[in-house]
Amino acid sequence: MPLTAETHHLIDAAALAAMRPTAVLVNTARGAVVDERALVAALVEGRIAGAALDVFEHEPEVPAELLELENVVLAPHLGSATRDTREAMGDARGAGAAGRPARGRTPAQRGRLRVRTRVTLGTDFILVRTL
């Protein structure tokens, strides 16, 4: 899911308020898709049961409030942890350091990596994931 004006804070206080108190939010797509302030408030106030995140709104910074909550599971962003993606990242970084554009196409452009994101809204969960 690209981060655009339409997807920024797609999961906001209103979306979180629509969830049941037993709901868990899982975000593995883009950090800024979730309004972290609204998420922290919902977690602290017990309006949702928990959250599992491997992306954060202002990566690499993680809000102290999320680190302190016992109903949150945090992980480093693993969505790019494929060989093709990491090789393309290394190629791009090396080219940038040398002052030239990266060679070739990205794994997604080569058809080896298809990136789609699904947002599933329910009263028991919100799942934001890259497929």
Has residue 6 got a pLDDT over 60? Answer: yes
What strands, in cross-sheet order, belong to the sheet with 24-27?
72-74, 50-53, 24-27, 125-130, 117-121
Provide the greatest CA pair distance for the chain. Answer: 52
Q: Where are the domains of the chain?
A: 13-79+114-130
Q: pLDDT-derived band of residue 3, with 50, 70 and 90 as boundaries?
A: confident
Write the single-letter amino acid at 13.
A
Looking at CATH, the fold of the domain delimited by 13-79+114-130 is given as Rossmann fold (3.40.50)
For residue 116, what pLDDT is reported?
44
Q: Which residues does 112 contact at the CB level (< 8 Å), separation at least 6?
A: 84
For residue 108, what pLDDT is reported?
47
pLDDT digits (tens, 9 = 90+) for 84-116: 766 776 776 555 555 555 555 444 444 443 444
| Region 12-37 average pLDDT | 92
Residue 9: which region, alpha, beta or left (left: phi > 0; alpha: psi -120 to 50)? Answer: left
The model's pTM is 0.66
Q: Which H helix or E strand runs over 50?
A: strand 50-53
Annotated active-site positions, please?
Answer: 30, 59, 77
**CA proximity to 37, closest of 7, 64, 71:** 64
For residue 2, what pLDDT is reported?
76
Q: Which residue has the tokens 């497929």?
A: 131
pLDDT digits (tens, 9 = 90+) for 52-89: 998 999 988 899 999 999 999 998 766 666 777 667 76
Examine residue 76 and say whether the peptide bond preceding it is cis (omega within 30 degrees of 0).
no
